[in-house]
Amino acid sequence: MLLLTAAGALAGLRASLELARRERQLEQFLRFVQSAETEVLYSAAPVAEVVERHGGSLPFLRRCAALCAAGEEFPRAWERAVRETALAGRDDTALFLRFGEGFGATDAEGQAAHCRLTLQLTEQRLREAREARRQKGRLFRVLGLLGGLAAALLLC
């Protein structure tokens, strides 16, 4: 009975932690895009260098930098890295993929505009993620615990 209750509570906790993980990933991506915009405007560095220099906080950015260092073209490396290692939901993954499609495809001003648009979209997603965590985090933990208790009571 205790194990069923604990399993339910852990399932609720895991769902709550997923919400926090999404929020954290969006925050890190937002910081990366801000740094990338500044880097592109003021140093005109190649996009692979920008990702290598500022992308250490997210696994898919580290993977992209490694793929570029191994000789893969940036757009292909970006898409592959996002698909292999991005932990976000489908909508967030689509945002990451769209950023990689336009990053490095135009001149510095075009890239800066692309970064600004991505910043706006990421900020909107981040607000939604924070609100979801605030509203649903506690709910998931309580429902997990109550679900575990209900399962334990039904089986006893």
Burial track 18-49 (b if 16+ CB lie within 10 A, e otherwise): bbeebbbbbeebbebbbebbebbeeeeeebbe
Give the residue from 77, 28, 29 showing the smallest Cα distance to 49.
77
Contact of 54 with 39, CB cutoff 8 Å: yes
Least confident of 12-16, 19-23, 105-109, 146-150: 105-109
DSSP 3-state assignment of 112? Answer: helix
Which residues, at least 6 apart from 12, have a Cβ–Cβ distance to it below 8 Å? Answer: 140, 141, 142, 143, 144, 145, 147
Residue 16, number of CB atoms within 10 A of its CB? 20
The mean pLDDT of 12-21, rounded to a whole number, is 85
Give the pLDDT score at 87: 65
Domain boundary assignment for the chain: 2-155
Answer whether residue 89 shows pLDDT above 70.
no
- Non-local CB neighbours of 150 within 8 Å, separated by 6+ positions: 8
pLDDT in the model for residue 88: 59
Residue 83: both structure tokens together = 């698909």
User: What sign does the dihedral 146-88-113-39 (CA atoms) show?
Assistant: positive
What is the Cα 140 distance to its own chain's centre?
A: 21
* pTM for this prediction: 0.79
Q: What is the pLDDT of residue 12?
A: 86
